[in-house]
């Protein structure tokens, strides 16, 4: 009975350890931490490997202790304590690992053009993304073009799912083969809920001409696009 209990305990310990290890290693195998991809990889690949390793380890130790009843009992006792420590440790590690994660946050944007500038009519001619210190967030691809009934100015809209806290988020909008317009979003690192209300309009910050070695520049008078944003979800 003690032998079976020890093996079960180490199967649990191994499964927990393997799941967390493979979750952290997920990006190295092409599974990002976004949308839980790496966690799924850890569960499906790491947990079985860890369980098998735990069972083999327990069987090996018990074989070494086959002539020591006291040793086997101590091993079972330490194994039970190990499970408790593994569970507590897993909870703490998960809280630390996900402290900068966001759940169910979407950022919508509208970008307004100057009166004499026409936006592209095809989605393929517009490329939008959010750039953060941790990487790039691709758009949700529901691009559309409308005319503001208040002033007749054209604008386009798009949306993004935001999964992590970030000190800075920059919307990069490229029109065809032209320059890239850079807007620093005026939202908090951990966005606050705005429901469906949009912010006020604010201007483009810089323009990247996409020339190697050339730094982004200030916009010219005819390039002063404007942006406003909304936040769904958030705190």
Q: Would you write out the chain's pLDDT as a tens digit for each of its 235 residues?
A: 667 777 888 888 888 888 888 887 887 777 776 656 777 888 888 899 989 998 898 888 888 777 777 777 777 777 778 777 777 877 787 677 667 777 778 888 999 988 878 777 676 678 889 999 888 888 876 666 777 777 778 888 888 988 888 899 999 998 888 899 999 999 888 887 665 688 999 999 999 999 999 999 999 888 889 999 988 875 5
CA distance linking residue 166 with residue 181, whole number of Å: 20
CA distance linking residue 208 with residue 70, whole number of Å: 72
Same-domain status, 113 and 29: no
Nearest alpha-carbon partner for 156 in 99, 191, 202, 109: 109
Same-domain status, 69 and 120: no
Same-domain status, 141 and 75: no
Same-domain status, 63 and 124: no
Is 12:19 a contact under the CB 8 Å cutoff?
no
Question: In terms of pTM, does the model score above 0.75?
Answer: no
Beta strands in the chain (DSSP E): 101-112, 126-132, 135-138, 144-147, 154-164, 170-175, 180-184, 202-203, 206-208, 226-232
Same-domain status, 53 and 134: no
Output the domain CATH number for residue 148.
2.60.40
End of a domain among 97, 123, 156?
97
Same-domain status, 20 and 131: no
End of a domain among 62, 97, 132?
97
CA distance linking residue 172 with residue 135, whole number of Å: 13
User: Could you list the residue range(s) of the whole structural domain that residue 35 is in?
Assistant: 2-97
């Amino acid at each position: 009975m003690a032998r079976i209990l020890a093996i079960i305990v180490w199967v649990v310990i191994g499964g927990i350890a393997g799941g967390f290890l493979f979750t952290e290693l997920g990006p190295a195998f092409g599974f990002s931490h976004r949308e839980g991809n790496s966690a799924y990889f850890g569960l499906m690949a790491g947990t079985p490997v860890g369980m098998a390793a735990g069972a083999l380890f327990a069987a090996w130790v018990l074989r070494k202790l086959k002539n020591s009843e006291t040793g086997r009992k101590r091993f079972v006792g330490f194994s039970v304590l190990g499970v408790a420590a593994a569970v507590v440790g897993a909870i703490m590690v998960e809280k630390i690992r996900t402290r900068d994660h966001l759940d169910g946050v979407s950022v919508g944007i509208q970008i307004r053009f100057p009166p004499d500038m026409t936006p592209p009519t095809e989605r393929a001619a517009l490329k939008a993304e959010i750039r953060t210190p941790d990487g790039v967030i691709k758009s949700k691809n529901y691009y559309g073009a409308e005319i503001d009934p208040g002033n007749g100015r054209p604008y386009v809209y798009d949306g993004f799912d935001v999964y992590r806290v970030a000190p800075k988020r920059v919307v990069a909008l490229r029109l065809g083969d032209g320059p890239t317009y850079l807007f620093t979003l005026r939202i908090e690192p951990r966005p606050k809920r705005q429901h469906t209300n949009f912010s006020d309009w604010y201007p483009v910050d810089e323009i990247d001409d996409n020339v190697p070695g050339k730094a982004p520049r200030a916009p010219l008078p005819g390039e002063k696009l404007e942006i406003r944003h909304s936040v769904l979800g958030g705190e």
